[in-house]
Amino acid sequence: MLKKILKNILLLGLLIIFPIIIMAKANITFLKFQNNIIYFRLITEERIINPKIFLFDTGFRVRPEYNYSPTYIDIRVNINDFSKNDILTLELEYDSLSGRKKVIINNFLDLREFSKEINLEVSTIETLDGWRGVLVNNSNRDFKIKNVFIDRKIKIYNSENNLYYLPEKLEDGFHEINITYLNKYMIERKKTIRFFKKGWFYASSNIKGASYKVRFIDNYLVKKGDSIYKIARKFNVKPGEIILYNNISDPKTIYPGQLLKIGKLKFGESPLIITIDLDKSILNLYYLGKKVLTFPAAVGRSDATPPGYYRIMYKEKEPALYWYGEYIKPGSIINGVGSRWLQLSKEQYGIHGTTKPWEIGKRISHGCIRLFNQDVELLDFLTGIGTEVYALKSAR
Q: What is the mean pLDDT of each run of 10 residues along the chain (396 residues)?
A: 50 44 61 91 85 84 90 91 88 86 87 88 90 88 88 83 87 95 90 95 80 89 89 88 85 88 88 93 94 94 88 86 70 79 88 91 89 96 92 76
pLDDT of residue 21: 47
C-alpha distances out from residue 107 to 24, 94, 98, 111, 291, Å: 11, 20, 27, 10, 52
Which whole-number Å values give the CA distances from 387 to 208, 286, 361, in the listed order? 7, 11, 23
Residues 6+ apart with CB under 8 A from 326: none
pTM of the model: 0.80
| Confidence (pLDDT) at 241 | 87
| pLDDT confidence of residue 23 | 40
CB 268 within 8 A of CB 210: yes
| pLDDT value of position 206 | 67
Continuous segment of H or E residues that includes residue 15: helix 2-17
Distance CA 209, CA 252 (A): 24
**Distance (Å) of CA 350 to CA 128, 368, 369:** 39, 5, 6
Answer for the pair 106, 23: CB distance below 8 angstroms, yes or no.
yes
Identify the structural domains of the chain with CATH numbers, from first to last. Answer: 16-114 (2.60.40), 117-204 (2.60.40), 212-267 (3.10.350.10), 272-392 (2.40.440.10)
